[in-house]
Chain A
Amino acid sequence: DAGITQSPRYKITETGRQVTLMCHQTWSHSYMFWYRQDLGHGLRLIYYSAAADITDKGEVPDGYVVSRSKTENFPLTLESATRSQTSVYFCAGSDSSYNEQFFGPGTRLTVL
Chain B
Amino acid sequence: GQQVMQIPQYQHVQEGEDFTTYCNSSTTLSNIQWYKQRPGGHPVFLIQLVKSGEVKKQKRLTFQFGEAKKNSSLHITATQTTDVGTYFCAGPLYNTNAGKSTFGDGTTLTVKP
Residues of A in contact with B (beta carbons under 8 Å apart): 1, 33, 35, 40-45, 48, 56, 58-59, 90, 92, 97-106
A43, B42: Cβ atoms closer than 8 Å: no
Main secondary structure, interface of B, reads mixed
Smallest CB–CB gap between B78 and chain A, Å?
A: 27
> Does B105 reach chain A (CB closer than 8 Å)?
yes
Given A100-B33, A101-B45, A106-B42, also A40-B105 (CB < 8 A): yes
How many pairs of residues, A versus B, come closer than 8 Å at their CB atoms? 58
Residue of B nearest to A48 (CB): B100
Query: Which residues on the B side are within 8 Å of A1 (C-beta)?
Result: 44
Of B12-20, B58-66, B91-99, the segment with at least 4 beta carbons within 8 Å of chain A is B91-99
Measured between alpha carbons, how far is A100 from B30 in the docked complex, in Å? 13
> In the complex, A48 Cα to B98 Cα: how many Å?
11
Q: A90-B42, A99-B31 are in contact. Are A42 and B103 (CB under 8 A)?
A: yes
Please, could you name 10 A-B residue pairs with CB atoms under 8 Å apart, sorted by A?
Answer: A1-B44, A42-B2, A44-B103, A45-B100, A97-B92, A97-B98, A98-B31, A100-B33, A101-B101, A102-B45
